[in-house]
Amino acid sequence: MSPHLASLRYTNAYAALGEPFSTPVAPTPFTAPPRVLHFNPAAAALLDLDPAVAADPQLPTVFSGAQALPGMAPRAALYAGHQFGVYVPQLGDGRALLLGEVRNEAGERWEIQLKGSGPTPYSRGGDGRAVLRSSIREYLCSEAMHALGIPTTRALCLIGADEPVVRERVETGAMVTRLAPTHVRFGSFEVFYYREQHDHTRTLADFVLAHHYPEIEPGDPARYQRLFETVVGRTARLIAQWQAVGFAHGVMNTDNMSILGLTLDYGPFGFMEVYDPGYICNHSDHHGRYAFERQPQIALFNLSCLAQAMLPLMEFDAAKAALDAFDPQYQAHYGALMARKLGFDSEHGADPAVTALRETLLQLMRASRADYTRVFRALAGVACEGPVPPALRDQFIDREALDRWVADWRARLRAAARNDAARGVAMRAANPRYVLRNYLAQRAIEQAERGDYREIDNLMRVLARPYDEQPEAAHYDAPAPDWAQNLQVSCSS
Ligand code: AMP
Ligand code: MG
């Protein structure tokens, strides 16, 4: 563990691919002095950095692009993507830069990426900046997802400055430093397919295999097919985790789909509060393409775009078979996760009785506009005998229907012979008490816009332990108050 940023040693494997995979670009620092709004020791540890780095005077200058450390090689990556179903031939890092890649003592590779660092050749007329509002959302949510056990990019620090950035109104700029083993996306492959640069597709696939999929034998003649199958499997698992926790990504374009199956690019995401399968978190998504219940099928569409881009490397039949395996894998993961949320073992994921209990409960929640997170958490505290506690019952309008459901659920639990105490512990580990509700993020944003960053820290602490009771933070589990009922989050960021 080092307390100094200057001790980082860079491997820069992706940068070494050179053009056209990425292009050297110097960050554009803020004109106003940068300051550290938040620093995340948990992410620093991934780079073998000591928490004392928070006080390193280089922290704000390096992670606002004002100073490069020896060994850093800032580059913007090229990619394309299907946005809302339409192919856009050139996207790329329009406001992000890869600063460098570090290999930690455990042998893991971590790319360090700066988001909001100014224009690049891929900015397409944009200013290359990110506003404080969206930077806080990405910063908080990536760490909240990690704590929930959901694969995601990580966030190292949040840097702000009194730098005006024009959106619908004048806002202030900020930069998030994020970490991922690689930021390669489905769109990184698509760009070469549509340009008919299949050698580059192969180079990229070889890079991803060599550095990120060591479990696939380099000499395996079917290695590209294996890569695709593995990406399908990881994506199926990721989406099942999103659905189980009630997370809507909001912009599932192929350029926002990670080749590692990570949650990537936090924009207008939302944690569903009132249970509604048609929940649309992105105010700009007028047709609900990315509505909550559509996420699995959109993931499959995105995977089929990746399959097409990788067709020069694998047989059509193999690609087809891998795509056909998406839905069964998704259903198996989702079933297992929901079985655990209901107090059963994951092996009961495909049990028709458990599936029926799940579907009926969701229907009751929908009819009552019940809070998704609170209902499941309350269920963890319901014993196999006795009256149904108000914490659960009061969330439903049709209470007799709920009572009938509880009776069926209890009967099935008795058949599975689980004792209340052990089941309660297991259910609390499967049903978070705390998720990043929109209004919680909004409150932290509004305070930060007034120069008070304490709520960011409060949320980081609470959301780092989403499954723990945390009595001192009990109010963070509350549903949206009236002022936040119609909060709108759009693509503007
Ligand atoms: P996103 O919807 O944030 O995933 O962004 C889609 C594409 O637009 C990516 O290529 C981004 O780099 C680019 N982009 C978004 N905002 C800006 C901006 N303010 N300046 C330049 N490029 C941007
Ligand atoms: Mg993006």
DSSP string across 344-413: S-GGGGG-HHHHHHHHHHHHHHHHHT-BHHHHHHHHTT--SSSPPPHHHHTT-S-HHHHHHHHHHHHHHH
Give me ligand 2 centre to Cα 415, in Å: 47
Per-residue confidence (pLDDT) for residue 42, from 0 to 100: 98
Position 3 scores a pLDDT of 78
CA distances, 437 to each of 138, 283, 424, 433, 482 (Å): 13, 16, 24, 11, 14
pLDDT of residue 416: 86
**Predicted pLDDT of residue 2:** 82
Per-residue pLDDT tens, the chain, 493 aa: give them: 887 899 999 999 999 999 999 999 999 999 999 999 999 999 999 999 999 999 999 999 999 999 999 999 999 999 999 999 999 999 999 999 999 999 999 999 999 999 999 999 999 999 999 999 999 999 999 999 999 999 999 999 999 999 999 999 999 999 999 999 999 999 999 999 999 999 999 999 999 999 999 999 999 999 999 999 999 999 999 999 999 999 999 999 999 999 999 999 999 999 999 999 999 999 999 999 999 999 999 999 999 999 999 999 999 999 999 999 999 999 999 999 999 999 999 999 999 999 999 999 999 999 999 999 999 999 999 999 999 999 999 999 999 999 999 999 999 999 987 899 999 999 999 999 999 999 999 999 999 999 999 999 999 999 999 999 999 999 999 999 999 988 989 888 9
Closest by CA to 211, choosing from 288, 142, 324, 110, is: 110
Atom of ligand 1 nearest to the CA of 125: 21
**Residue 213 neighbours by CB distance under 10 Å:** 18
Q: What is the pLDDT of residue 285?
A: 96
392 CA → ligand 1 middle, Å: 42
Amino acid at 263: T
Ligand 1: which residues within 6 Å by Cβ? 91-95, 122-123, 126-129, 251, 256, 265, 267, 491
Atom of ligand 1 nearest to the CA of 130: 19
Q: What pLDDT is stored for residue 377 in this prediction?
A: 98
Cα(305)–Cα(294) distance, integer angstroms: 17
Mutate to test the pocket of ligand 1, among 82, 83, 95, 492 (most ligand atoms within 8 A of CB): 95
Strands 247-248 and 270-271, by their bridges, are antiparallel
Atom number, ligand 1, closest to the C-alpha of residue 128: 20
**Measured from the CA of 129, which atom of ligand 1 is nearest?**
19
Q: What is the pLDDT of residue 491?
A: 87
Residue nearest to atom 12 of ligand 1 (CA): 94
Instruction: Give the residue, by CA position, lying nearest to ligand 1 atom 14.
Output: 94
Q: Pick the ligand that lies closest to the CA of residue 122.
A: 1
- Cβ-contact 284, 268 below 8 angstroms: yes
Looking at residue 197, its amino acid is Q
Ligand 1 atom closest to the Cα of residue 120 is 21
pLDDT (0 to 100) of residue 451: 97
Q: Return the sign of the alpha-carbon dihedral for residues 15, 300, 267, 148.
A: negative
Q: How many residues does the chain have?
A: 493
258 strand-pairing partners: 185
CA distances in angstroms from 86 to 82, 264, 288, 447, listed in the order given: 5, 20, 15, 38
Report the alpha-carbon distance of residue 56 to residue 48 in Å, rounded.
15
Cβ neighbours, 10 Å, residue 126? 11
Q: Which residues contact 394 (CB under 8 A, 6 or more apart)?
A: none
| 255 CA from centroid of ligand 2 (Å) | 6
Which of 90, 101, 77, 79 has its CA nearest to residue 18?
Answer: 77
Nearest ligand by distance to the CA of 491: 1
* DSSP-assigned letter for residue 152: B
Which residue's CA is the nearest one to ligand 1's atom 8? 94
For residues 338 and 346, what is the distance between their CA atoms, to the nearest angstrom? 8
Ligand 2 centroid to residue 265 C-alpha, Å: 5
Quote the CA–CA distance of 201 and 314 in Å, as a whole number: 12
Phi-psi region of 171 (alpha: psi -120 to 50; beta: other; left: phi over 0): beta
Cα 123 to middle of ligand 1, angstroms: 7
For residue 285, which ligand has an atom nearest its CA? Answer: 1
Helix (H), strand (E) at residue 300: helix 295-310
pTM metric for this prediction: 0.98
Catalytic residues, by residue number, are 255
Closest-CA residue, ligand 1 atom 5, reads 94
DSSP-derived 3-state class of residue 275: coil
Q: How far is the CA of 436 from the centre of ligand 1 (A)?
A: 23
- Closest residue by Cα to atom 6, ligand 1, is 91
- Of 22, 98, 123, 254, best ligand 1 pocket probe by most atoms within 8 Å of the beta carbon: 123
**Ligand 1 mean position, distance from CA 139 (Å):** 17
Q: What atom in ligand 1 is closest to the CA of residue 253? A: 4
- Which residues, 6+ apart, have CB-to-CB distance to 86 below 8 Å? none
Cα first-last separation, the chain: 35
